[in-house]
Amino acid sequence: MESFEHSPSESIKSPGQHTMQGQLPISILWRIWKSRNKLVFQRKQNDWWRDIRDATNEAEEWITNGLCAQVPTPSTTNGTTRQFQSQWQKTHMGWIKCNYDGSFVNRVRGSTAAWIIRDDNGVFKGAAQATGATVSSAFEAECQSLILTMQQLWIRGFRKVILEGDCKLLVNVLNGRGSRFDAINWIHEIKVWRNKFDAIKFTWSHRSTNQPADILAKNQRHALSSYIVHSFIPLCISNALFSDYVS
């Protein structure tokens, strides 16, 4: 009997795959196939609402992080080669650059967040990891992580900041290149905090250049404290920080 070697999310490419309308039908089909196999081979039946719930979560996770999980490759348009940023870059003189990330497991566990602060020379200025409130999607986890990051930067007195994350959807929304009405309250709170800074930029980086924040956010899942501040480089991200290229 035939079986899929990879999920449809990995094998089917379509123009709308990074929208909920484009990805959700694929995720539902994948869940139906898995439930069918479970019924045939294990004699166990899934509830339909569980399949819909899991498919929705998977679709949300894919469109939030799917763009970032792909390996960046140069692309050519009209004879011009466009290179993706493949290494972490320093910021402008007088600015602080903060890489952040949110980690979403499910709607029961609280999402986790982490951020790493570096100055215009690429010098480590601090980091933190935290467990936030329970959210309903990976996109909301990214929003919550960004809000926590902005609050802590404000408390520490930083007023010219670049906030860099690997959720392209969120960065596009904040820069006026998209909208997410299902997360309008989260976006509103981010904009409220944005207005408190003298100068602020929201930039996107490929997940490969946001590894330290990603590792630290996932490390928080096993932490005993809900909030941990690091004045020195945490051991779990020391290799990732060392690997970051600073021009």
Which of 29, 23, 32 lies closest to 59 in space, CA to CA?
23
Mean pLDDT (whole number) for 100-121: 91
Residue with tokens 């986790």: 112
**Helices 184-194 and 138-155: crossing angle, nearest 10°?**
20
Q: Where are the domains of the chain?
A: 8-70, 96-243
Reported as half-sphere exposure (CB side, CA atoms, 13 A), residue 30 has a value of 21
Mean pLDDT over 145-152 rounds to 97
Return the CATH number of 96-243, one of 3.30.420.10, 3.40.50.720, 3.40.50.300, 3.10.180.10.
Answer: 3.30.420.10
Q: What is the pLDDT of residues 69-95, one digit of tens each?
A: 444 444 444 444 444 556 788 998 999
Digit-coded pLDDT (tens) for 115-125: 999 999 999 99
Query: In terms of DSSP H, where are the helices of 82-199?
Result: 138-155, 168-174, 184-194
List, for residues 193-212, the tens digit of each pLDDT value: 999 999 999 999 988 889 99
